Structures are given as C-alpha cells and as structure tokens.
Amino acid sequence: MKNIVILISGRGSNMQALLEARLPCNIAAVISNRADAEGLNIAQAHGIHTAVIAHRDYADRGSFDAALAKTIDRYNPDIVVLAGFMRILTPGFVEHYRGRLINIHPSLLPAYSGLDTHARALHDGVKIHGCTVHFVTADLDHGPIIIQAAVPVARDDTEQTLAARVLREEHRIYPQAVRWLCTDQIELGGQGRVILKCRKQIGTALISPGLE
C-alpha cells in the first residue's frame, strides 16, 4: 500500500475529500506551512499525523523547502499531494519528488495558470471553466495533466458561485487521480503526457450555452 503525504495551507477541503474517499493508500501525514490552518484539526480528527513547517521561520525559499522535504521524507511517501498549499516550490524540491508530486488547480490548464482564475475566466467571458489535476514540474502549473473536469459558466455567475461549482468538481477528480496513482493505473509517456491504462475516453461533449 502506497504512502501519501498531503500539504495544505488553509481549510483543506480537498484534503478532507481525500480523507473521506477511502482510498487504497496510507495517508501518512498532513503537513502545513501555517500553524493556524483549519485542515490540521480535520486531519487530527481522522487520526492522521500532522506537522507544521512555518515558512516564516526560514530566511528563503530554499531553506524552507529543505526543511519541508526533510519532514516529508520521514514518512517515506510514494506520492506527495498539494491540496491548497500556497507556496511556490523551488526547482530542487520539485526535482526531488519528480513523478511523485501532484497538484490541483482551479482552471482548465494550460488556461489561467497562477492566481485569480475564476475572476479572469469571468472577465474573458469564457463559457466553460473547470479544474485540473497535474504532476508538478518546475514550470508553474504546466506539468503533465492527469484529469480535468469542466463546468459551464452561467450568465449570472459571480466569482464566488463559479468557484463553488468548480470546487465541487475538485472534490470529485482529486480522489480519482490519487486512486489511479495508488493502483498504478497511470504512467508518464515519452512525450511527458500522462497515459491512463485500460480506460476508454468518454465521448460526451459539454456545450455551454446548450444547443437548441
């Protein structure tokens, strides 16, 4: 059974979705860069080990990432899961966990990498938005894509209503991605693309607004 370490910075709703998904893995620890992260209490309630590595205690990103990696490695992780971990990681840290580090991002990458994804999508008038689970590389928010979910953008959407709709899909696809990794159903192909073994693609299209 694979060991999973989850990194959070706040409430940890995606972390909670993973904890409640009964995944075929051992969630060895939840680690935060903030001692006041609400998700730490949720993890402890599930009997999960927790730790805090406060980024403000370190002079630079490199020293923080080194301390973080040292703590993570105590749990011998097969997969490191970023679940609302609001720190940009150094290339050395990313390389240390190459092929084992995944993230969820609130957009249909490669569109809208970075912050404020929902506001930017509304500003641009896109009709379909969504979320992406991907492997983390040194190229921020541009690692190989594992799974995506798309949602229609409603005419009266606000940033908050669109974010809530996307978050519901995040809670569905992140556990699925981790489940595939735990059961070795994913591999990275030679072109840096994710190959999902023995699974057919669904042919249904999402069209927004709908056709008459």
| Greatest distance between any 2 Cα atoms in the chain | 59
Could you identify the residue written with the tokens 């957009």? 107
The strand pairing partners of 25, in sequence order, are 2
pLDDT in tens, 63-111: 999 999 999 999 999 999 999 999 999 999 999 999 999 999 999 999 9
> Given this model, what pLDDT does residue 211 score?
84
Question: Which of the residues are catalytic?
Answer: 105
Domain range list for the chain = 2-196
Using left for φ > 0, alpha for ψ between -120 and 50, and beta otherwise, residue 96 falls in alpha
Q: Other C-beta atoms within 10 Å of 83: how many?
A: 24
Nearest Cα neighbor of 187 from 146, 136, 133, 149 is 146
Residue-level pLDDT, tens digit, the chain, 212 residues: 999 999 999 999 999 999 999 999 999 999 999 999 999 999 999 999 999 999 999 999 999 999 999 999 999 999 999 999 999 999 999 999 999 999 999 999 999 999 999 999 999 999 999 999 999 999 999 999 999 999 999 999 999 999 999 999 999 999 999 999 999 999 888 788 999 886 777 778 888 988 88
Please name the amino acid found at residue 90.
T
Kindly report the CATH number that applies to the domain delimited by 2-196: 3.40.50.170
User: In whole angstroms, what is the distance from residue 160 CA to residue 146 CA?
Assistant: 26
Per-residue DSSP letters for 61-98?
A: HHHHHHHHHHHHHTT--SEEEESS---PPPHHHHHHTT
Report yes or no: 129 and 151 within 8 Å, Cβ to Cβ.
yes
